[in-house]
Amino acid sequence: MALLAGSANEQCTVALDGTGGDHLDTRPVVDAVRFALAMYPSLYLIVFGSSQLELDLTKAGVNKKRFEFRLAQQSIPQDEPPRSVLTNFRHSAMVQALECVKSGQAQAMLSSGGTGPLVCLARHILGVQHLSAAKAKLKEKLGVPGRGGAVRPCFAARIPVGPQRFALMLDLGANATCTPSDLFDFACLGHACAELSLERPHPRLAVLNVGVELGKGNALVQRTKELLEQDRSLQFTGFIEANRIFNDDADVIVTDGFTGNVALKAAEGVANLYANSSGMKKVFAKMARPDWLLPWQYNGSVLLGVNGIVVKSHAAAGKEALAVAMVEAARAAQSNLASKMQEALAAQ
């Protein structure tokens, strides 16, 4: 189920920001830590959080050999502006967890904190990856030079599209406003990641739009289409409509972070209508659900395009979903996703 399967036998260390999320009490984090450690024997955690979290982990009897606790009282508000994030929160759990990845103490970090702060700090602390010289040159030729080859990082997640089959969708919210240059970058990141993690040698790449006809949509998707058509190394198949996201029409679905976030949450809203019904309807809903559509198994978006593995969990994730995101982080770490992504980008 991981974005990229590695060897589960090597020990791997994940730094956990234990302060984010919608939960005020520490219970979901404690339960998720226990659950993740049980699921994944080679996982070791560095947990950053409040003294209350430390106390509760101890009380719960979590195996002390499997984790290390570090105090970090500071928590970053979800909508803290970037300038403040970069200067006022040096002692926050999020910053410290990222620095663990930077220094190599951890091979991945996981946070349920705000998207804005997480992306801003990850870019700043870990640094961003670069497109190949060929791609940078192509972009310049096409009139969208970008930032000297530096890629625009974005959140990617696997979308279930059938039994044991996934597509990759990106961006899911790292960038609320995007340019055609950004979407081109997401296409390059998605292509590389699908080759690595979905094991598809020539992933079919589509841009999310309101229709499949050539003239449909806004200026962003129209211009992106023009760019992608010029890149022969990508298998660009055109537009895809949101009702076909789960139908295995594409391996990589490219969109801006605003639209991608709305699309996935709308899908989640309907799945919840079924899952949260009551009485016999709830029983029937469980029996009716396609076997491969288990929402909590798919928590954890990976921030592609930075020099390190950063996984974001849904802020409202329950203990199982949070544990799944930890395992997702561990597996990405064991497969060296970040460095393999940089190699793949460089070879494009």
The footprint of a copy of itself (CB under 8 A) covers 78-79, 81, 114-116, 173, 176-177, 208, 210-211, 213-219, 241-247, 257-259, 261-274, 277, 280-282, 284-285, 287-290, 293
The answer to whether the peptide bond before residue 171 is cis (omega within 30 degrees of 0) is yes
| Residues whose CB falls within 8 Å of the CB of residue 52, separated by 6 or more in sequence, listed in order | 26
Closer residue to a copy of itself in complex, CB, 47/263: 263
Side-chain-side CA neighbours of residue 104 (13 Å): 1
* CA dist., res. 322 & res. 326, Å (int): 6
CA distances from 288 to 85, 203, 227, 271, 285 (A): 45, 30, 42, 11, 5
Report the DSSP pairing between strands 204-208 and 252-254. parallel
What is the torsional sign of CA 240, 298, 79, 122?
A: negative
Q: Reduced to 3 states, what is the DSSP secondary structure of residue 153?
A: coil
User: Which of left, alpha, beta for 300 (phi over 0: left; psi -120 to 50: alpha)?
Assistant: left
- Per the DSSP assignment, residues forming a β-bridge with 192 are none
Closer residue to a copy of itself in complex, CB, 73/272: 272
Show the tokens assigned to 315: 């802020």
Supply the DSSP string of 5-49, one letter for each residue: ---SSS-EEEEEETT-SS-SSSHHHHHHHHHHHHH-TTEEEEEEE
Closer residue to a copy of itself in complex, CB, 8/271: 271
What is the torsional sign of CA 140, 231, 160, 304?
A: negative
Show the tokens assigned to 231: 């890149």
Helices (H), 72-153: 82-88, 93-103, 115-126, 133-141
Determine how many CB atoms are found less than 10 A away from the CB of residue 9. 9
